[in-house]
Amino acid sequence: MTRFTEWSDPFAEHLHQKFKDKKGALLPILHDIQDALGHIPPAAIRHICDSLNLSKAEVDGVISFYHDFKKEHDGRFSIKVCRAEACQSSGSEELISHIQKRLTQDGTDTEFHIEAVYCLGNCALSPSVMMKEKLYGRVTPNRFDHLLTQERTNHA
């Protein structure tokens, strides 16, 4: 799968193909852009307005309503850790403590931050974590360390 790191015509086309027949596509489109780029750039907002026939005020209203969405990149990407029941009972709280410690210790808190979410739809493989559009299940502290190293290598 292509990984998009900036807004571009191919990214716009990818989203068009993915959501062209879906009703209520605004939120999933915004999530995909936010997850891939770490924010929703102005060019993406213009594209969404044109393709979904929405006004800029409507799209801006949704972006500012949900705290998941940012119009400016703060330089960090989210590590979404599920805190819902199935993941909690499989150790997500311990995992969050581990991630916080790890990010602080090695200084990667300038690149990543933890975001608590409530169910990533991957309950059978809890605890679940999502980084940059990719969903991971059965994430132990050791596995997380490995995934973080991999993620940093991919974007170095």
Binding region for ligand FES (CB under 6 A): 82, 84-87, 119-123, 126, 128
What b/e string do you get for 34-56 counting C-beta neighbours within 10 Å, with b at 16 or more?
Answer: bbbbbbbbeebbebbbeeeebee
Nearer Cβ to ligand FES (45/82): 82
Nearer Cβ to ligand FES (62/135): 135
| Least spacing, CB of residue 112 vs ligand FES, in Å | 19
Nearer Cβ to ligand FES (38/127): 127
Nearer Cβ to ligand FES (25/82): 82
Q: Give residue for tokens 């879906």.
A: 22
Of 133, 53, 34, give the one whose Cα is nearest residue 44: 34
| Least spacing, CB of residue 28 vs ligand FES, in Å | 17
Q: In sequence order, which ranges of the chain are alpha helices (DSSP H)?
A: 9-19, 26-37, 42-52, 56-65, 85-89, 92-105, 141-154
Nearer Cβ to ligand FES (41/91): 91
| Least spacing, CB of residue 76 vs ligand FES, in Å | 22
**Rg of the chain, C-alpha, whole Å:** 16
| Least spacing, CB of residue 7 vs ligand FES, in Å | 29
Residue 129, helix vs strand vs coil: strand
| Least spacing, CB of residue 120 vs ligand FES, in Å | 4
Residue 99, helix vs strand vs coil: helix
